[in-house]
Structure 1
Amino acid sequence: MKADKKISHILTKYLRRQESVEERQALYKWYDELDHVHSDADTGSSQKRTKAKLWKEINPAPSVIKPLWYKFGAVAALLLIGYFGYTYFNARNSFSPMEAQEIAAITPGENKATITLADGKIIDLTDLDTDQSLTTGNGLFIKDASGRITYVNKTTTARPDKLNTLKTPKAGQYSIVLSDGTKVFLNAESSLSYPETFGNTDRIVMLQGEAYFEVTKDPQHRKFIVKTAKQTTEVLGTKFNINAYEDESVVKTTLAEGSIRVNPNNKNITPITLKPDEQTVLQANKILSQQVDASYAIGWTQGQFCFDGTNSEEVLRQIARWYDVEIEYANKNAITYSGKIPKNLSLDKLIKLLEYADINVQAVTNQQNKRKLIIN
């Protein structure tokens, strides 16, 4: 940094034409060595392109008659801004290993979410007190002692067009009881859109991410329908889980109780009706069903990571969502994992478990407090 300040001082003098011969030579030398000031490959390439452009500006074609000092002075000012801009950017964005106590301080996710009301108002649910109620158009919701939100109808007038959206961040999850009594558990980095009150037609909700549903049987026999980007799931009264994260290559729908029908949006794919302990796996152009232990699919609602022949990349994506970290691969493996891990572990303890499973992890961070796990 002392060298940076010295160059800055010389450039300032240079622009005022007050530099000495020695200072001018030092400035030219600094310029010539500019290719070597960054170790980062991408930044180095950008710097070389910048230098080439600047050199062209400093050495114009013979037909362009302008004083070299004027040209170099203007370019030097731009170069100084660019150089220190790169330095500042890299310092903030470069990652360095985390200390053991820093890793231990990273706690797992917890109950946190927001609700966006039909009028666009956003409510942070952590700001609501226990037993506090909030009016929402035709209904109201109450936060109970467990932190769960329950919707209560204030009127018999149904407004299925008035949608609310429950959204969880990374390292967050939340549970909600809809106006028909259906319970929904929303996993990290997910969202559920639903009406304040259901109408006389089908009960329709929209899901992004992952959720577990315990659907209340309806006296009017209205279907409960969950729409995701790639499929529609129809039920009457049942318990099931849908994993439909955008960064997953497949959509998994797992039935715990009752019966559901999975309808892919691709009409060339035949719908499938599931029985308990069955799961559909929807890919781009096909769907298959398989026997599973449904408790593994819904284990996250009971505080566990549950893996049943799960590949390492999917394992790490689940961890990334729950601990709000990024994943970077220095090396990938094709190993699959089976077992259960408590979701309430601090990150350092989780890393130790991963290392026992032959997943070598280095935790790093930067000045913006972005946290990353590098998999070796």
Structure 2
Amino acid sequence: MEIAFLVHKNLTSTLSHSEKSELERWLSESEENQFLFQSIENFHNNGGDISALTELNAEDAWKKVMLRYTSNKKVNKHGMLQGTYKYAAILIIALAAGYFYWSVNFKSGKVVEEMVQSQQGIVLVLDNGEKIEFSSSDQQELVDKQGNKLGQRSGRQLNYTHNETMDELVYNTLTIPNGQRFDIILSDNSHVYLNAGSSLRYPVTFLPGKKRQVYLQGEAFFEVSKDKDHPFVVTSDNMDVEVLGTKFNVSAYPEEEDISTVLVEGSVKVNANQSIDLDQDHSLLLIPGHMAQWDKKSKSAQMEKVDTDQYTSWMQGKLVLRGMKFREIIKKLERHYGVIIDNKNESLNNRTFTATFDVESMEEVLNTFVSETKFEYRIEGKQITILNNQNQESPMK
């Protein structure tokens, strides 16, 4: 049975027992399949049209995949494309927005980034596609449409430690907009602090005999409960961080060139995951006070000793910049303050700055940079425009 049809049916109606087993088998084949399913699920939950999945002709679709991916295809010892990759590629091209929209945009993180920037509040998407946008209420019990208790929200925290026991993996996805932070206590009592502009996909309940795996886009600090029989794995793009029990920070924003892992306590192993083929082992065993950086382009990793406070201070609401280029600072300011910055003064892009901000307003932060290098800016609500020095528009500061 076509996986594309099962994905559509899972998101729009109810699967039979045999259909559910087939879909679960496909999801278990690879992390790429799981990521693609989440991609389509998020697209659907945000109003995207997935009707093309029901009309997909696998052979025609595969021909288009071959035309697009000839230079990137994965070949096994029999000269045939790997089956899981074939399924994954078929799903990529199934969306009506364009055959290669997902391969170009979502897998680069662009879709998630735009979704995070556009949403106003914190959004939880349940496994069945139901979407819950958190209100201003401090207390909120989370239940699905069948009345099953999933978790308890209290203020800026979501707690899954007292949810109802489940015998299958059921995933929730929590998306945090720019300008906000949130934290989750998972069913094993592991604590995850999510930074602004981040998204985490995680099981409602971890199951015996299976690794504790979550999927991160953005930045989060993890305090993992020890369980030697069930390793905890954080998957971000092509990088896995595997631990038994420890405290560490992972930064994996889609638009950034590197994925970084900073270890505060314990030990972690950083690996390139199975979604890419490498000629040699790319894994690092971190010790406290060190950071591993994975370069997405070169697919290489390196480790260095760092001041961990610099990379975890965001949990206290601080924004620490150390020798950072202004074009990179803009992204951090957008996430931290929940604003959109249009920099028309390109001469600023490669200027480096070192600063720490805590309770300063957005205008006070901009004036700090102005004191170092003169430029003019205009603030209109959440839209900030940094003017070109030759621009004749009058600034409103």
Q: Does 1:141 align with 2:156?
A: no
2:124 is matched with: 115
Amino acid at match of 1:194: Y
Q: Does 1:193 align with 2:201?
A: yes
Query: 1:172-207: CA deviations, max 9, x gaps?
Result: 221111111111111111100001100121000001
CA RMSD of aligned residues (A): 2.2
CA contact (8 A) 2:161 2:185 kept: no
Percent of matched pairs sharing the same residue: 31
Q: Does 1:345 align with 2:335?
A: no
1:207 is matched with: 216
CA distance in 2, matches of 1:115, 1:175: 13
SS of residue paired to 1:320: helix
1:57 is matched with: none
SS of residue paired to 2:336: helix
Query: 1:122-149: CA deviations, max 9, x gaps?
Result: 112234x3333222475431122x4211
Deviation at 1:359, TM superposition (A): 6.4
Amino acid at match of 1:345: E
Q: Does 1:292 align with 2:306?
A: yes
Deviation at 1:364, TM superposition (A): 4.8
Query: 1:265-288: CA deviations, max 9, x gaps?
Result: 443452111111111111122111
1:240 is matched with: 248
Alignment of 1:302-341 (within 5 A): 302-323=316-337, 324-330=339-345, 331-341=347-357
Deviation at 1:302, TM superposition (A): 0.8
SS of residue paired to 2:168: coil
1:124 is matched with: 133
1:277 is matched with: 289
CA contact (8 A) 1:113 1:173 kept: no
Amino acid at match of 1:120: G
Amino acid at match of 1:141: G
CA distance in 1, matches of 2:163, 2:157: 19
Please list every run of 5 or more consecutive structure 2 residues that lacks an aligned counterpart in the other structure.
1-119, 389-397
TM-score with structure 2 length normalisation? 0.60
CA distance in 1, matches of 2:348, 2:365: 19
Q: Structure 1 residues 261, 307: CA separation in 2 closer, same or farther (over 3 Å shift)?
A: same
CA distance in 2, matches of 1:213, 1:315: 24
Query: 1:133-173: CA deviations, max 9, x gaps?
Result: 222475431122x421111344443432x110010112222
Alignment of 1:253-268 (within 5 A): 253-265=261-273, 266=276, 267-268=278-279
CA distance in 1, matches of 2:200, 2:374: 33
Deviation at 1:118, TM superposition (A): 1.1
CA distance in 2, matches of 1:279, 1:209: 17
CA distance in 2, matches of 1:124, 1:345: 29
Q: Structure 1 residues 241, 357: CA separation in 2 closer, same or farther (over 3 Å shift)?
A: farther
Deviation at 1:250, TM superposition (A): 1.2
CA contact (8 A) 2:291 2:305 kept: yes
Q: How many residues align?
A: 258
TM-score with structure 1 length normalisation? 0.64
CA distance in 1, matches of 2:268, 2:292: 11
Please list every run of 5 or more consecutive structure 1 residues that lacks an aligned counterpart in the other structure.
1-110
Aligned match for 1:363, one of 349, 364, 378: 378
CA contact (8 A) 1:140 1:152 kept: no
CA contact (8 A) 2:150 2:164 kept: no
CA contact (8 A) 2:163 2:187 kept: no
CA contact (8 A) 2:215 2:236 kept: yes
Structure scoring higher RCO (CA < 8 A, sep ≥ 6) equals 1
Alignment of 1:162-201 (within 5 A): 162-200=170-208, 201=210
Amino acid at match of 2:356: K
CA contact (8 A) 2:173 2:200 kept: yes
Amino acid at match of 2:217: Q
CA distance in 1, matches of 2:363, 2:229: 49
Deviation at 1:211, TM superposition (A): 1.1
Q: Does 1:372 align with 2:384?
A: yes
Q: Structure 1 residues 308, 193: CA separation in 2 closer, same or farther (over 3 Å shift)?
A: same
Alignment of 1:32-71 (within 5 A): none
Deviation at 1:117, TM superposition (A): 0.9
CA distance in 2, matches of 1:133, 1:212: 24
Deviating more after overlay: 248-257 vs 309-318: 309-318
Deviation at 1:222, TM superposition (A): 0.8
CA distance in 1, matches of 2:183, 2:266: 21
Greater C-alpha Rg: 1
Q: Structure 1 residues 228, 341: CA separation in 2 closer, same or farther (over 3 Å shift)?
A: same
CA distance in 2, matches of 1:357, 1:255: 33
